[in-house]
Amino acid sequence: MLTRHGAPSTPLPTGRPATPTQVALFRRPRAVPRASTVSFVSAAAVGCVGHRPWRRRQSSQRHAEGRCYQVVSTESQGLGVVATEPLLAGQLVTEEAPALRWSGAEDEVELKECFEELPVEQQQELWQLEDAFSVGAKTLSGIAFTNSFQAGEPLNPQDLDLDDERVLYLEISRFNHSCLPNCEVSWDDREGLLQIYAGRDVALGEDLCLYYQDVRMPRLSRQEKLKSLGFTCACRACRAADRRSDQRRQRMQQLLGEMEEVEEEEGVAKVQELLDLYDEEGLTVLHYRKAAAFKAYAMSTALGNVADAAKWAEMAAEYSLQCHGPLHPQTKVLSRHARRAADLNG
C-alpha cells in the first residue's frame, strides 16, 4: 500500500510471481475436476492499447492444433516448453484449471487420499511430472514440492505462508524457470485458473520460461535460492555468468530496498533508474515494470505532479493489461487510476 505517500490506497501490484515453492508437509488437498474448458490460445489481434498491442485468440478446445507451444525434451532441464509460432508481448499463451488444490501443509497421508480421488487418467499424468526432491522412486510430496504454485496473487512476498492454498497444474508444470524469463503467470481468482502471458515478443522455437522466484539479485544469490527448489539453474543468464549483469542486478536489489524509505522526488528518479536497468539487462518482466510504474505514479501524485502521475498511471495500467489481461481486478483498478489521472491532467 502506498497510503503513507498520500497516494492511492489501492493495493500495490508487486512483481511477485506465483512460484512453484517447496512446501514441507501437506494438509488435506481438494481434488479439482479438470475443467473441460481449459483453453489454449494462439495469436491474432483483437485489440490494441497504446503502443503495445494486446492480442489474444482463444481456442475453446483443448487440442494440439489450438496451442502456440509444444512440450519438448531440453538439453539440461528435462522437459520444457517451446513456442510453435511467434508470440507478441501480452499474448495469452495458455490458461489451465488446477488438477489439485489444497491448503498447503502438513499431512502427506491426506495428500495421498486426495490424489486417489482423482480420475485414474489424471493420476497417471500427475505421476509423469518431475520430482526434484525424492532420491530413487518419485513420491507424491516430491512431485508436489517440485510443481505446485501458491494460489492467488499475494500483495507482498512476505505474505507467503506455508498454510496458504496450493495448486498444481498438469500442463503448466512443464514450463521451466529462467532468470531472463519471457513468460509470466497471472492468477484468475474468478475461476481459479492460472494464466500464462508472453512478457515480450517471442520468436518461433524459443523456450518459454517463467520465473520461480524474484530474479533481481546477482547470480550466486539466485542460484542459492533455486537450490532450495531442488535444482541448479542452467538458464542463459546463469550460464553466461556475466559480471556486468551481476552488477546491474545488485543495483536493482539495492534500489528496491531503498525505494521503501525514500522521499518521493528521489523515489521517482530511482524508479526510472530501475526501469533503465531492466532495459539494459533485457529483463522484460511486466509485473516488475507494472509495480515500478505504480510506485512512480503514487509518488508523483503525492508530489502534486499531475502530468507525471498521468504518464506513470497509464504505463502501470498498460503493463497490467499485458500481464493480466483486461478482466483482471488489478487491470481494472489501474485503468481507473489512469483515467482519473488523465482527467486531472486535463
Ligand X SMILES: C[S@@+](CC[C@H](N)C(=O)[O-])C[C@H]1O[C@@H](n2cnc3c(N)ncnc32)[C@H](O)[C@@H]1O
Footprint on this chain of ligand X (rule: CB under 6 A):
20, 77-80, 129-130, 132, 146-147, 173-174, 176-178, 230-231, 233-235
Question: Do the beta carbons of residue 296 and residue 268 sit within 8 Å?
Answer: yes
Question: Do the beta carbons of residue 196 and residue 92 sit within 8 Å?
Answer: yes
> What cell does 208 get?
518459454
CA distance 214 to 15: 8
Of the pair 80, 325, the CB lying nearest ligand X is at 80
Of the pair 132, 262, the CB lying nearest ligand X is at 132
Of the pair 174, 289, the CB lying nearest ligand X is at 174
Which of 186, 198, 173 lies closest to 88, judged by CA?
Answer: 198
CA distance 81 to 73: 8
Q: How far is the CB of 209 from ligand X (least distance, A)?
A: 7
Of the pair 122, 305, the CB lying nearest ligand X is at 122
Tell me the residue type at 322.
Answer: Q
Of the pair 235, 338, the CB lying nearest ligand X is at 235
Tell me the residue type at 58.
Answer: Q
CA distance 157 to 229: 16
Q: How far is the CB of 269 from ligand X (least distance, A)?
A: 34
Q: How far is the CB of 177 from ligand X (least distance, A)?
A: 4
Instruction: Write down the residue that cell numbers 530474479 correspond to.
Output: 215
Residue nearest to ligand X (CB): 78
Q: How far is the CB of 142 from ligand X (least distance, A)?
A: 10
Of the pair 174, 248, the CB lying nearest ligand X is at 174
Q: How far is the CB of 247 from ligand X (least distance, A)?
A: 22
CA distance 172 to 195: 9
Q: How far is the CB of 85 from ligand X (least distance, A)?
A: 21
> What cell does 332 get?
481494472
How far are the Cα atoms of 76, 302, 305, 329, 340 from residue 335, in angstroms, in the given order?
Answer: 41, 19, 19, 10, 9
